[in-house]
Structures are given as C-alpha cells and as structure tokens.
C-alpha cells in the first residue's frame, strides 16, 4: 500500500493545522461556512482536540511526505469510532489516498461502528464513503443555502 499512518502527538499540532487549513481552504471559499469549516480554525482548536482523552490524530503519509491527517474519536465502551475530520491536501486528492487511509485506520482501531459526516454537495466525498461501506443515516443539517451536512454510519459487526 502506498499510504501509511503515523500517530501524531501534541507537538504535531502546528503541522496538523497547516495541513488542515491547506486542505479545507478551497471548501471554505466555495461554501463560505466560516463558523464550521476547519480552515477557519486556529491552532488552539487542534491542540484542544489533541488533548481530548478519546481522540487520536494520524498523519496520512505518502512516501515519507505528510499529505493529510485523520482524527479518530473512539469510545472503548461502545466500540464506536468517529472520523472528524479526515483531510488530504488538494494536490493529492482524488488519487485513492483517502480510501487507503480509511482502510488502514479501520484496521488499527477496533471499532464495531464507524461514523462520519460530510458535505452532501461534495459528490466525490459521498461516493468515497459509500464505496467504503458507509451508509447515510437519514440525518442531514443545512448549514447555509449552499451546503448541507450528511451523516454516515458503517457497522463492522
């Protein structure tokens, strides 16, 4: 597999933040969702997430280069994992790396149920998640007149 994952630490907050801003900036410009888009967050928000007890960030690495990251929120008791967010910088998007990263993280985290949300209007994202076995839950949330968030779930057991 071309992609590998490397667990991030609090010392990696700046690097995660840079990748996050670069990855989400095109969506911020497109949808103007200033309250919710990760490109509009400061590094302190990433640090806060890294400090959360059930949160783990992994860098998505291609041939030694950090091309993105994925955050997993895992509840040991319920065996539920949530991806929030996963991002890959624009020049590496659409090449299958997101799919590879999701397959790897599902092998690392022993979850029975996976959850995530994405922008309904981003058909490529929806296609990826559905291809990976995620199903729409029927729950949506309109953020503005340009975008709606759609929720997904995948049961492994």
Helix (H, G, I), strand (E, B) or coil at 134: coil
By CB atoms closer than 10 A (0-12, 13-18, 19+), residue 18 is: middle
Residue 12 lies in a domain: yes
Residue 135 lies in a domain: no
Cα–Cα distances in angstroms (integers) from residue 61 to residues 35, 68, 98, in the given order:
29, 7, 11
> Torsions phi, psi of 98, nearest 5?
-65, -45
Average pLDDT across the chain, whole number: 96
Q: Is the sign of the CA dihedral 5, 24, 84, 113 positive or negative?
A: negative
Residue 43 lies in a domain: yes
Residue 157 lies in a domain: no
Residue 82 lies in a domain: yes
Residue 132 lies in a domain: no
How many domains does one find in the chain? Answer: 1
Q: Contacts for 50-53 with beta carbons within 8 Å, 24 or more apart?
A: 50/8, 50/9, 50/10, 50/12, 50/13, 50/16, 51/10
In percent, the amount of the chain with pLDDT more than 70 equals 99
Block means of pLDDT (10 residues each) for the chain, 157 residues, are 92 98 98 95 98 97 97 96 98 96 96 97 96 97 96 93
Measure the CA–CA gap between 147 and 79, rounded to whole angstroms: 31
Residue 15 lies in a domain: yes
Give the domain extent around 105.
3-115
Measure the CA–CA gap between 61 and 97, rounded to whole angstroms: 9
By CB atoms closer than 10 A (0-12, 13-18, 19+), residue 14 is: exposed
Which pLDDT score is estimated for 1? 55
Which pLDDT score is estimated for 157? 72
Residue 149 lies in a domain: no
- Beta-carbon neighbour count of residue 75 at 10 Å? 12
Confirm whether pTM is higher than 0.75: yes
Provide the CATH number for the domain around residue 97: 3.40.630.30
Which pLDDT score is estimated for 60? 98
């Amino acid at each position: 597999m071309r992609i590998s994952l490397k667990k991030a630490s609090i010392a990696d907050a700046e690097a995660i933040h840079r990748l996050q801003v670069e990855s989400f900036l095109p969506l911020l410009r497109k949808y103007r969702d200033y309250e919710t888009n990760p490109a509009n967050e400061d590094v302190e928000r990433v640090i806060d997430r890294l400090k959360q007890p059930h949160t783990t960030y992994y860098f998505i690495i291609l041939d030694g280069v950090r091309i993105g990251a994925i955050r997993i929120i895992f509840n040991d008791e319920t065996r539920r994992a949530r991806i929030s967010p996963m991002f890959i910088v624009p020049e590496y998007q659409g090449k299958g790396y997101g799919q590879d990263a999701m397959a790897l993280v599902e092998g690392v985290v022993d979850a029975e149920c996976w959850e995530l949300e994405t922008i309904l209007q981003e058909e490529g994202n929806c296609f990826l998640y559905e291809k990976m076995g995620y199903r729409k839950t029927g729950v949506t949330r309109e953020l503005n007149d340009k975008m709606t968030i759609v929720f997904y779930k995948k049961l492994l057991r």
